Amino acid sequence: MTDGEEKLIIARAVKGESSAFGQLYDVYQPQIYRFVYLRVGQREEAEDLTHQIFLHAWMRIKSYREEGYPFSTWLYRIARNQVIDHYRTRKVSQRIDEDREDQFVSGENVTLAVDAKLRLERVIRVIRTLPGDYQDVIVMRLVDEVPIRDVAKAMQRSEGAVKLLQFRATRALREVLEVEVEEESYEA
Amino acid sequence: MKPEILKQLRKITPDSGYSARAKEHILMSAPLPAQSGRLRSFAAFFSEHKLRVAMIAMVLVLFVGGFSVIQLLNPFKASPLDPSRLKVEAQAIDIQLQIANVGYEAPANGPESTQAMSRPSRVSRSSAKSGAANTAATSSPDVGIDEALDLLSQ
């Protein structure tokens, strides 16, 4: 979908056309689901939250204003707020779904090697031990490669603050992963 | 840490069955009407500063409530009596009693008494003034407090 096409679809969705919003849902739902899943670590909760996010977006689509940012930036902002509210209201366990191989199944049904899967699970577990803002930056910047300007808008911070957050988040992630690798090597 | 491993996290995708059901359920709802500019900015402000708005509202409620309680506890407000009017009435009683004392202290002789009545002497006037402080305790045989109050009510 090109930018021009997307703008037309968004304009139709803002007028209340459900099929147009359905197209936007198909494009952005996997991305938002991934963001939420990496934040909460559980499939069912990620599905519930993603549902709430898009329901919230559809209910308030008529109030959407572009303001020079992509539609995904608005969705990320809603997603961040929903995740924050989720942590405020519920006691969230640290478990992640380790027994669902289809978590990593792409559209072509590619299966991962066991060690790669374990490595990914470790990374996910480590990401979730970091502060919330670090997690947001890691997922948006390093996983989905969202531009800094859009991340700053979604997080309601300056671009400089986002850059600093990214630097600190990456360093923290590396430190924790290195410690885990060292511990595993001592145990082995 | 290699960035490629993070990019592999892009392979995390939702279940296709869930996605279809969720989409259908969402699109069954109708979107809310667009908010006006002022209302939207107010809503955005309110949603961003919920705690501050709540605290300010609580302080206002406590202030207004406390002020109302003070007004209720005010005895003068609670009673039908007006302090300023009471003061005026008390001063009027004082004057009436002074006049009554002047009349009482006038001599029994005719012209002197008449003169005394028309022009109260300085002694009698000063004695009336000094007696003013004791008017509450003593009453003139000619005009009592009750009679004076009756005169005032008329």
**Mean pLDDT across B82-110:** 67
Buried b (16+ CB within 10 A) or exposed e, B85-114: eeeeeeeebeebbbebbbbebbeeeeeeee
List, for residues A48-73, the tens digit of each pLDDT value. Answer: 999 999 999 999 999 898 888 999 99
Give pLDDT, residue A82. Answer: 94
How many angstroms separate the CA of residue A155 from the nearest CA in chain B? Answer: 13
Least confident of A60-74, B6-20, B49-63, B76-90: B76-90
- B71 vs A186, higher pLDDT: B71
Percent of chain A past pLDDT 70, that is, above it, reads 83
The A residues from 9 to 68 touching B (CB cutoff 8 Å) are: 16, 18, 21-22, 25-26, 29-30, 33-34, 37-38, 43, 46-47, 50-51, 54-55, 58-63
Confidence of residue B71 (pLDDT cuts 50, 70, 90): confident
Give pLDDT, residue B20. Answer: 92
Confidence of residue B72 (pLDDT cuts 50, 70, 90): confident
**Mean pLDDT across A10-17:** 93
Cβ contact A60–B31 (<8 Å): yes
* Whole-structure pTM value: 0.60
Cβ contact B31–A116 (<8 Å): no
Highest mean pLDDT among A19-28, B30-39, B125-134, B144-153: A19-28
List, for residues B106-128, the tens digit of each pLDDT value. Answer: 555 544 444 444 444 444 444 44
What is residue B135's three-state secondary structure? Answer: coil
Whether residue B15 is predicted with pLDDT greater than 70 in this model: the reply is yes
Highest mean pLDDT among A110-114, A161-165, A184-188, B95-99: A161-165
Contact A179, A172 (CB under 8 A): no
Q: What is the mean pLDDT of chain A?
A: 85
ipTM comes to 0.75
Long-range contacts: A86-94, Cβ < 8 Å, 24+? A86/A40, A86/A45, A86/A49, A87/A132, A92/A40, A92/A45, A93/A42, A94/A41, A94/A125, A94/A128
Least confident of A154-158, B16-20, B102-106: B102-106
Whether residue B61 is predicted with pLDDT greater than 70 in this model: the reply is yes
Whether residue A96 is predicted with pLDDT greater than 60 in this model: the reply is no
Cβ contact B1–A63 (<8 Å): no
